[in-house]
Amino acid sequence: MTGRRWLAAAALLLVAGGLVYWRRSGASSAESGAVFATRRGPLEITVLEGGSLQSLESQEIKCEVRVGYQGTKILKIVEEGYLVTEEDVRTNKVLVELDSSEIQKQVVQQEIQFEQAAATLTDAQQGYDIQLNQNLSDIKAAEQKARFARLDFDKFLGADAAETVVQGLEVEKPPSSTLPTFAPAGSPGSAGSPTNAPVAPVDPSPRPAPKGPVVDFSRFAKLEALGDGEAKQKLRKLLDDHQVAQKELEQARATLEGTRRLFGGGYVTRTDLQRDEIAYENSRLKVQTAETARDLFLKYELIKTAEETLSKYSEALRELDRARKAAVSKLAQAEAKLRSSQAQYTVQERQKKEFTEQQEKCVIHATKPGLVVYGGGNDQYYYGGEERIREGATVRERQAIITIPDMTRMTVKVSIHESYIKKVKKGQRVRITADAFPDKQLTGEVSKVAVLPDSQNRWMNPDLKVYVTTITVDGTQDWLKPGMTAKAEIQVDRLADVLYVPVQAITPIDGRQYCYVSGGRSPGRREVEIGQFNDEFIEIRKGVSEGELVLLRQPPQESGEGAGKGGPAAAGSPAAGQKAAPAAAASAPKS
């Protein structure tokens, strides 16, 4: 009985020892399979992203031909990848030739319309000049008529008396030598190049209309009231005639009285007496005739002639005013026609020039050396049914046909995740490697960081926020081509002496950072304080010591606890490390 008990006890001991050995051996093997010894030393903080090579500056040649909505066809185009040389630029090598047949028809039609506009302009210019000269003649004739009418009035009434009448009526005195302010316009020259001379100014201010000749000329019915004119001369003659007739009448009366005394004494015959009586009667009739002529002149002829000459003078002034206003109106019409013709000529000339330029733009010459790339430099897709650039394709206005990048200055465009963008600054140095030449390492510098996330990427994946960053490549390399894939490692910072572990060794749980320590005095999960990180390693500021072993994979018994609380990264995967780093950085303390 006792032996059996010892055998059972021995068997139990063997089983228990086997279990303990099995557990220890399994655990040690699990730990030894994915651990990392915490290191101390310099840590370079970098951001590694992939992108594509592009030229810093590119000449984009677009279609500048407007032929309507249908576009224009490419008749000839240089092969894609052709290297434009300086010799090609000097010889004006043709890169693209577009169909210009439709534009040629428009050029012919425009030539006809342009010639018609030039003829209309010449006719309008000649009409303007003719109207200007006609206005000058009409005004000069009206001024001359008014001047002559005033002379007639002055001649009849006398200058002083006439001036008194004119001033009392406020009748405008016509200028003797002043002409209206017309100035001849510029001649159109040849039909192809008219002179846009300013149109002659005309004074449009209204002239005061002369009042009607309401004058009492009876006050001039005396010799001293008249001036040295026809009226005074005629009145003086009438007065002289009357005076002579009176003297002759007195003489005839004296003779008749003497003859009557002689006839009473019988010294003369009756015949002599009758003769003297007839002479006396004739003298008396002459006096009456002279008095009647004088009175008729003073009462009627003087007033009539004065009013008639004054009326003619007033009417001449009105005609002069009408001539001036008519000149303004006619010249304004001629000016409007001339300006309209000039405007039409300018429009047709501009359209002719535009069509000619459009025809010239159908042939595109080389203006800058570089590599020929079809389409726009940043075009990746074709929108709106655009055809691929080739001979026979139809291109629309403003569509890029060829892009000639500047091969001497290259850049790398990369998209930086929003968790890294606060680290990337303008001026940081960058190590660049082209996938086509992995053995050649280039250097560069961050030249531009986008302020807003990439809009194109936002539409494709709204949850992913990336910022386009431009990196300028140092120097000139002939073997670099636009479109090559490249990796850019941006040197953000360099930590001189820090503890660090792989990024996949950190597990975020409930907003805190943990790592799993294997062996040592306190194995198991341990909370740590992290700092800066790159794509491989992360700084440990507190929680572990140099040389301690940390698990790169979360233990199976801990996976349930971390699930859904930040998510542990899968160990051994570079992609997993890149996913874990942003999550760890989200709850890391500010450095």
Task: Give the list of residues 6+ apart from residue 375 with CB closer than 8 angstroms, or none.
Answer: 389, 400, 401, 402, 403
Burial annotation 550-578 (CB, 10 A radius, 16+ → b, else e): bbbbbbeebeeebeeebbbbebeeeebbb
pLDDT of 520 reads 64
- Looking at the chain, how many residues does it have? 591
The whole-angstrom separation of Cα 225 and Cα 23 is 158
Q: Which of 356, 379, 414 is the last residue of a domain?
A: 356
The pLDDT confidence band at residue 22, using thresholds 50, 70 and 90, is very low
Q: State the CATH number of the domain containing residue 89.
A: 2.40.50
Split into its structural domains, the chain has a count of: 3
Q: Are residues 348 and 440 in the same domain?
A: no
Q: What does the block give as tokens for 504?
A: 């996949």
Query: What is the structure's pLDDT at 205?
Result: 47
Triad 315, 317, 321: Cα angle to 5°? 115
391 and 315 part of one domain: no
Structural domain including 153 reads 110-187+214-356
Domain with 438 in it: what CATH number? 2.40.30.170
Report pLDDT digits (tens) over 163-222: 888 887 765 555 544 434 433 344 344 433 444 444 344 444 444 544 555 677 777 777
Alpha-carbon distance of 363 to 104, in angstroms, equals 13
Residue 125 in this model has a pLDDT that exceeds 90: yes
Whether residue 202 is contained in a domain is answered as no
Indicate the SS3 state at residue 309.
helix
Residue 571 reports pLDDT greater than 50:
no
Do 288 and 377 lie in one domain? The reply is no
Please enumerate in sequence order all residues whose Cβ is within 8 A of that of 331, keeping only pairs 6 or more positions apart, or say none.
Answer: 128, 131, 132, 135, 182, 199, 200, 202
- Once rounded to an integer, what is the mean pLDDT over residues 337-355? 94
CA angle at 482 for the pair 479 and 487, rounded to the nearest 5° = 80
Domain finish residue from 330, 356, 382: 356
**Residues 385-416 pLDDT 10s:** 567 888 989 898 888 899 888 778 889 999 98
Q: How far apart are CA 11 and CA 204, in angstroms?
A: 137
Among 21-35, 98-112, 312-326, 451-465, which is the least confidently predicted range? 21-35
Other Cβ atoms within 10 Å of 381 Cβ, number: 5
Whole-angstrom distance, CA of residue 397 vs CA of residue 138? 58
Helical ranges in 369-494 per DSSP H: 455-460
Q: Are residues 300 and 383 in the same domain?
A: no
The secondary structure element, H or E, covering residue 403 is strand 400-405
| Residue found by looking up tokens 């018994």 in the block | 557
Nearest one of 551, 562, 555 to 510, comparing CA atoms: 562
CA–CA distance, 578 with 582 (Å, rounded to integer): 7
Q: How many angstroms separate the CA atoms of 559 and 507, rounded? A: 10
In a domain, 164, yes or no: yes
First to last CA, the chain: 73
In 3D space, the residue among 401, 350, 376 whose CA is nearest the CA of residue 482 turns out to be 376
- Is residue 201 in a domain? no
Q: Are 425 and 449 in contact (CB under 8 A)?
A: yes
CA distances from residue 40 to 37, 195, 361, 386, 587 in whole angstroms, order as listed: 10, 87, 67, 59, 23
